[in-house]
Amino acid sequence: MMRVAVVGGAGYIGGELLRLLVSHPEVELAAATSRSFAGRAVAGVHPNLRGRTELRFCEPAALGEYDMLFLAAPHRETMRRMPEFLGHAKTVIDLSGDFRLRSPEVYADYYGVPHEAADLLDSFTPGLPEFHREELRTADRISVPGCMATAGILTLAPVARAGLVEGEVTVDARTGSSGSGATAGPGNLHAERSGALRVFAPNRHRHEAEMAQATGLTVRMTASGVEAVRGVQVLCRVRLADGADERALRAAYRTSYQHEPFVRIVAERRGLHRFPDPKILSGSNFCDVGFSVETGSPHALLIGALDNLVKGGAGNAVQAMNIRCGLPEHLGLEFTGLHPN
């Protein structure tokens, strides 16, 4: 059994990590930290865990030594404390944004502050199993991509690597309210969020930089908040390279994902769910990808969808843990989602 701890366990991502880890057959969940809720029962903050764990939150200063440490702490705080975190476990899996970008200059550009641990950036492996599986087998420092970035990368990377698209890519990303975290501001009040379709990042969202880094494409991204609680959907408008068509797109996705346990190609001729839809992915570790090609036009729409808290965060982290520890990738991630929900 691996002894693991979660830093920042009171938030939505932290809670999702706890949900997955408490039921994992190869994990002993030894600690979860929260300054605000230290001493309180984990199940009091995450009521879905009632009867599943007797664990109580502890102060970060009470952390001991573990086999693996999951970090769900805020951006900026994580990079400042990373030397401390590395002393608590041989393997650290970070879900903040602080170690996703390789370039400290790009980080400063998108996050608005200098990187305070730039010397550690190159030591982190991206926690995206579909493209970094072999590196993850021996990685002791893992950085999980952002939720919209994960959806965008899994949607764009196969066609980019196959040389099927050219020029600038436009990404319209939509996300549910849980993406803003458990301590979101007045913009996430029910009265403000209900019924809204609100553009909160008209340009230069930080996940744009992650997509560009992973795919080599020039990406322009807009992010909107939708009424859903969970879910991310990305609509990626691309110009096809000469000779590229619907058949070539499908072949590129099949080549990339035919053996992947958590990516499905969803591009059908008819039916209510003929394209990726985050609603049916709620609670699951799947990412669905699909496409539509305009007849007689060089343009195509590439579509990706996932649960922002699972495949877009905690699920990716657990999948990376399984690979690092030589376990079956699906272990602890078998939930298929609900329909209807």
What is the distance between the alpha carbons of residues 244 and 226, in angstroms, rounded to a whole number?
Answer: 33
Q: Is 236 a catalytic residue?
A: no
| Pair 289, 302: CB distance under 8 Å | yes
267 CB neighbour count, 10 Å cutoff = 19
What is the distance between the alpha carbons of residues 147 and 12, in angstroms, rounded to a whole number?
Answer: 13
Catalytic-labelled residue, pool 147, 236, 287, 325? 147
The edge-to-edge listing of strands for the beta sheet with 165-175 is: 198-201, 219-225, 165-175, 232-240, 299-306, 287-293, 263-265
User: Two tokens at 103?
Assistant: 């370039």
30 CA to centre of own chain: 24
What is the distance between the alpha carbons of residues 1 and 99, in angstroms, rounded to a whole number?
Answer: 28
Output DSSP code: residue 46.
S
What is the distance between the alpha carbons of residues 198 and 192, in angstroms, rounded to a whole number?
Answer: 10
What is the distance between the alpha carbons of residues 264 and 254, in angstroms, rounded to a whole number?
Answer: 9
Q: Which of helix, strand or coil describes residue 6?
A: strand
Q: Measure the CA dihedral 18/22/24/27, to 10°.
A: 100
The residue whose two tokens read 């600038």 is 168
Those residues whose C-beta lies under 8 Å from the C-beta of residue 328, and which sit 6 or more positions away, are: 322
Q: Which of helix, strand or coil describes residue 312?
A: helix
48 CB neighbour count, 10 Å cutoff = 11
DSSP string, 134-170: HHHTT-SEEEPPPHHHHHHHHHHHHHHHTT-EEEEEE
Q: Which residues does the annotation mark as catalytic? A: 147
